[in-house]
Amino acid sequence: MRHLMSPLDFSVEELDELLTLAQDIEAHPDKYAHACDGKKLATLFYEPSTRTRLSHEAAMLNLGGSIMGFSSADSSSAAKGESVSDTIRTISCYADICAMRHPKEGAPMVACQHSSIPVINAGDGGHQHPTQTLTDLLTILNVKGRLNNMTIGLCGDLKFGRTVHSLIHALVRYTGIKFVMISPEELRLPDYMRHDVLDKQNISYKEVVRLEDAMPELDILYMTRVQKERFFNEEDYVRMKDFYILDKKKMKLAPEDMYVLHPLPRVNEISVEIDDDPRAAYFKQMQYGVYVRMALILTLLDIHVD
């Protein structure tokens, strides 16, 4: 039985297979419409979500399966003090696979140690968000046609942004990847990511504060929101929240084939005036999230469609 805790749980070859499967699902959805008949997905969300929970659910429904779950800790027995390990033992009796989001780093890992069904980490605190990474990789592959030889700008909250941490882990395994980290000093990528992941693997990166300075050299700009829920005080959040606003003026500095991604939700960091720019890929990205989660469910359940 396999779980997904981190993008590193799949080899590069397995990731490539999964992305190819997601592309086939997009091209031939009818072929997969009954692949999970009789299977049940549970979504265990202890933190708010729109895309991740509902795209997992849409994925299972598109495959012919059924869904169950809770969308906040308050509406589960966690509110009465039940542990994650007891909850997952319970869910293992009811469902075939589950996706868990939790505010505490490592909670899905605890779950998978007590589970008899595959567990998908749907985001744990400021740590990892591997299914978002699968979505991001599929989007980059679809818009650029490759995952190698690329300069990726990561902009915004690089300290608390779990999508950024997961994406870096995944991309460093491809060749010719360079990063430009664009953040204010207070929201820099944590030391453990810079030293233990980037420096150790000799990955080329630089850090800049001004988005304008980075734009001309990027193939992909990955915008992120400032993670309000991870700040210890409101004052710091308010000071940081509008540090970056991507608008038409800044987009003029970017190459014609530079695409903008964002895991969403956005707050103010991308002006709605660029939503119609052909380089704005963030709405396609959330659609790709359904295909890639369909591919993930099939892979973890070891279901093959001819």
Residues that bind ligand CP (CB under 6 A): 49-52, 123, 132, 263-265
d(CA 213, CA 55): 35
Structure tokens at 230: 């991870």
Among 177, 38, 29, 45, which Cα is nearest to 101's? 45
Nearer to ligand CP, 178 or 266 (CB): 266
Nearer to ligand CP, 239 or 241 (CB): 241
Residue 162 Cβ, how far from ligand CP at the closest point, in Å?
A: 9
Q: Is 239 annotated as a binding residue?
A: no
What residues are paired with 207 via a beta bridge?
Answer: 181
Nearer to ligand CP, 187 or 215 (CB): 187
For residue 278, the tally of other CB atoms under 10 A from its CB is 9
- Tokens 């749907």 belong to 122
Among 205, 165, 210, 223, which Cα is nearest to 184's? 210
Q: Residue 204 class from Cβ within 10 Å (0-12 exposed, 13-18 middle, 19+ buried)?
A: exposed
d(CA 135, CA 192): 24
Nearer to ligand CP, 65 or 161 (CB): 161
Q: What is the DSSP string of 130-184?
A: HHHHHHHHHHHHHHHS-SSSEEEEEES-TTT-HHHHHHHHHHTTSTTEEEEEE--
Q: Is 163 annotated as a binding residue?
A: no
Supply the Cα-derived Rg of the chain in whole angstroms. Answer: 19
Residue 44 Cβ, how far from ligand CP at the closest point, in Å?
A: 13
Residue 172 Cβ, how far from ligand CP at the closest point, in Å?
A: 21
d(CA 148, CA 102): 32
Residue 305 Cβ, how far from ligand CP at the closest point, in Å?
A: 27
Q: Which residues are catalytic?
A: 51-52, 80, 101, 129
Q: Is 162 annotated as a binding residue?
A: yes
- For the CA atoms of 166, 172, 177, 182, the dihedral, rounded to the nearest 10 degrees, stands at 40
Q: Is 293 annotated as a binding residue?
A: no
Nearer to ligand CP, 87 or 285 (CB): 285
H or E element, residue 101: strand 97-102
Nearer to ligand CP, 143 or 264 (CB): 264
Q: Is 154 annotated as a binding residue?
A: no
DSSP tag of 185 = G
Residue 252 Cβ, how far from ligand CP at the closest point, in Å?
A: 27
Residue 251 Cβ, how far from ligand CP at the closest point, in Å?
A: 22
H or E element, residue 186: none
Q: Is 52 annotated as a binding residue?
A: yes
Annotated binding-site positions: 51-52, 80, 101, 129, 132, 162, 225, 264-265
Annotated binding-site positions for carbamoyl phosphate: 51-52, 101, 129, 132, 264-265
